[in-house]
Amino acid sequence: MRPLLSISLGLILAVSLLPTATADEPLHLFDGKTFTGWEGDTEKTWRIVDGAIVGGSLDTVVPRNEFLCTTRTFHSFELKVKFKLEGDPKTANAGIQFRTARIPRHHEVIGYQADMGQQYWGALYDESRRKRVLAEPDQEKIRQIVKLGEWNEYKIRCKGNHIQLWINGTQTVDYTEMDSAIPLAGVIGLQIHGGGKSRVSYRDITLAELAGGES
């Protein structure tokens, strides 16, 4: 029988050698192969192609808004997503939901959206709640930044009631939510907008959780 002291020291040493996870250590929300950690219409709308989550079609009109959402909720974080939106620039639209919730027995969600497409590039939209743009950049400036039909990157930073958006490294929104009734936590969601022939792809989805809730 081993002495209790030696066993305790062994356990302490083993724990000290384990890798430590910090509050802002990036999480890979998509493994590039499966929908593990996500839920949505994976039979008709969403599929995985060449390591990316793809929704919509360039051949047929997307019948309605559809969302693929994480099964886990998040509060304060920095989210990075690479995306590619294809289709007629006049109708193609998609977005990245955050601090969002599913509407029960409905295909829609409610919460913030980092918008993309049409005249909404880089804007912060409130999906199914206030149903309006909360903050938006100068679209002339954005048109010089966005690579239409190619891969771009969104960065979304939420800490407390402070929300910031970037596209391809250029900040598009710096917004402070003044309504204390708006939830500060929710799921992450990927959207394909209905009403047009468009296709959106998402990949390299990483999230770093931020400590604290104050701005």
* Separation between Cα atoms, residue 136 and residue 50, nearest integer Å: 32
Residues 66-106: tens digit of each pLDDT? 999 999 999 999 999 999 999 999 999 999 999 999 999 89
- Does a structural domain hold residue 3? no
Total of domains in the chain: 1
* Separation between Cα atoms, residue 211 and residue 200, nearest integer Å: 32
pLDDT at 1: 44
Predicted structure pTM score: 0.87
Residue 12 has pLDDT above 90, yes or no: no
Instruction: Give the residue among 106, 108, 145 at the shortest CA–CA distance from 126.
Output: 108
Residues 25-73: tens digit of each pLDDT? 799 999 999 999 999 999 999 999 999 999 999 999 999 999 999 999 9
Residues 173-193: tens digit of each pLDDT? 999 999 999 999 999 999 999
- Does a structural domain hold residue 5? no
What CATH number has the domain bearing residue 184? 2.60.120.560
pLDDT at 141: 87
pLDDT at 4: 38
Instruction: Give the residue among 98, 105, 40 at the shortest CA–CA distance from 68.
Output: 40
- Does a structural domain hold residue 215? no
Average pLDDT, the chain: 89
Residues 133-187: tens digit of each pLDDT? 999 999 888 989 999 999 999 999 999 999 999 999 999 999 999 999 999 999 9
Distance between first and last Cα of the chain: 54
- Does a structural domain hold residue 143? yes
- Does a structural domain hold residue 177? yes
Which domain, by its residues, includes 192? 24-209
- Does a structural domain hold residue 101? yes
